[in-house]
Homo-oligomer: A and B are copies of this chain.
């Protein structure tokens, strides 16, 4: 399974196509919407009004709730599109005064403007945007549907944000998934969650963002996913193997 995504942050719609999807996998758009809502609900990501807005529309590859072996296309509409039709019009002449001329530091804006030879940073920042990750979440939801059918369970939690980290990182099998969901920062420890939120509040007040550490575990896998034999087939060396059939990923998100 591979995915390809398209779409700008304030464009009409995000589109993602997943190829190589086997037939016979039960897929519900509603379950993918739950993942999309989790993505939007991160603490400090924006106001409440954004919660529950993204919806995945399955365009092809699924019939009567089951994949048929064709590529699966999904659309995630921009619910605010009506307010952006002038700035992000596909056709027509560009109105005066809508150019973005100040590239944001630490983003791809300046490099993109130099690469593409444009005088409008919006041509770059609309794609170099976290909004694209909604496509990855939708594609990941499809992957989770397949894995669920195979008896694979995927779990994750956040163990550190900024300088705040859990006193002891628990074994993922001992982590209560409901406690993770209940935390606005996806940390199963209530006290640490509160400290993390304060850390985020302080960073926001300074106009900063924060990195962190997350843990993802998959159990129920067959041994030998990926390969040691060829460089481009290796799973990332950060993906540790606790025991055959269990993947353990400890990832670091750097602040932007």
Contacts and interface: CB of A to CB of B under 8 A. Distances in A.
Interface residues on A, range: 35 or more
Interface string A52-77: 00000011111111001111110100
B244 A60 contact: no
A112 to B, nearest CB: 6
A114 interface: yes
Contacts of A230: 4-5, 19-20, 71
A244 B114 contact: yes
Where chain A touches its partner, the secondary structure class is: loop
Interface string A1-40: 0011111100111110101101110001100000000000
Contacts of A114: 223-224, 244
Contact of A116 (B24, B111, B117, B238): B24
A60 B13 contact: yes
B59 A13 contact: yes
Interface stretch (A89-97, A171-179, A180-188, A189-197): A89-97
Nearest to A20: B230
A194 to B, nearest CB: 29
A90 B23 contact: no
16 contacts: A4-B19, A6-B17, A6-B60, A6-B70, A15-B17, A15-B60, A17-B17, A23-B118, A58-B91, A63-B88, A64-B90, A64-B92, A69-B124, A70-B229, A71-B229, A115-B224
4 nearest interchain CB pairs?
A115-B224, A6-B73, A23-B116, A6-B71
